[in-house]
A = this chain, B = another copy of it.
Amino acid sequence: MKKGLIVQKFGGSSVANVERIKNVAKRVAGYKKSGYDLVVVVSALGDTTDELIELAHKVILEPPEREMDMLLSTGEQISVSLLAMAIYKLGFEAVSFTGAQGGIITDTSHTKARIIEINTDKIKKELRKGRIVIVAGFQGATLNQDITTLGRGGSDLTAVALAKELRADECQIYTDVDGIYTADPRIEPKAKKIDFITYDEMLEMASLGAQVMQARSIEVAKKFNVPIHVRSSFSRLCGTMILKEVKRMEEVVVSGVTLNKNEAKITVCNVPDRPGVAARIFKDLSGSGINVDMIVQNVSHLRQTDISFTVSKADVLRAIKLTRSVAKSIGAGEVLEDQDIVRVSVVGVGMKSHHGVAAAMFGVLAKNKTNIEMISTSDISISCIIQRKFAESAVRALHEKFKLAK
């Protein structure tokens, strides 16, 4: 019985060794047996990508990006061929493709390429033959057939883009957790798995530190309305469905609490309060490829103000150096850094139509004796920068307050 097409994506931890690859093969074969057509996207085995990066760095600290892509793309090529073999062993026909063979055409921005087109002819041809098609995640090729990679988490993007292009009924993202949780269960043991979540909520969750799925791929899923099912490769349980709209039995204001420990705060003191001065600081940072996240500027007094902002910890050294040089040239004062901060956020589409979430959040943090250093809000989230030592207790207190364990 023909049941439709499913795109499945298995991350590195799901294929970390031969035993796990065989497990993945069993799961894929099970779906095939029950009547589905299958396109399977696979990441590199376990830590292969990191090992290859390390190998390259033994040769040269800043490898040419084209060659880096040539090197890294071997990781997924190994996993797709091994998975095809494992499926073949179970008596099913499978064929593996590199990104290039799978028709994934990208621009020429090596190491962070964007998909510009997918030519699914070859994939469709193999599906028509009844074969399970396995495509290397994270990679593609330029029109000139140079191999490219899509950046960290790029396998999610491969899966979502293929699901869109092939009009798949579902895109299943297999990972090492059961789904999306109301909070990190390692911090809040009462955290519950969320059965349904909207693209927008998931986007906030992803960009705010829930590292289950790459943010870019959720954007693409949202744009083309691709139904996503995030679930564990180690259990048969249903995970979290990510959809456009979620009809909930009762009104839920807040869907989850997230924590991001990867940011650092930079403060420029005594900035002259003249038009264009803030622009100057952030122009230089963005020109160097540094993403600035939250920005807070205090009300000015005495024609001087303090400007604080957060950047990823990975960029903090470069950011401080740049900011110090700008601060000097604009006549500002000291530049301070604080790596001991975290961002705690509450996320939920219910907030749109609900006032008082911010007040409730601040109240909880105050009760928890937690000083709020910066605040940022969106339609469906509120984030606070707080000292790291309060991180876990803040998550638990917010989880409790918004009744997420109900």
Contacts and interface: CB of A to CB of B under 8 A. Distances in A.
Chain A interface, DSSP helix/strand/loop, else mixed: helix
Contact of A59 (B89, B98, B147): B89
A45 to B, nearest CB: 9
A78 interface: yes
A78 B60 contact: no
Given A18-B55, A59-B85, A145-B101, A70 B77 contact: yes
B88 A64 contact: yes
A73 interface: yes
A67 B96 contact: yes
Contact of A56 (B52, B67, B85): B85
B82 A18 contact: no
Contact of A60 (B56, B86, B98): B86
Interface size class of A (residues with CB under 8 A): 35 or more
A82 B145 CA distance: 19
A105 to B, nearest CB: 13
A18 B58 contact: yes
Given A59-B21, A86-B60, A88-B64, A96 B81 contact: no
A185 interface: no
Contacts of A67: 81-82, 84-85, 88, 94, 96
B66 A95 contact: yes
A71 interface: yes
Q: Which of A18, A58, A70, A74 has most B Cβ within 10 Å?
A: A70
Contacts of A324: none
A63 interface: yes
A71 B64 contact: no
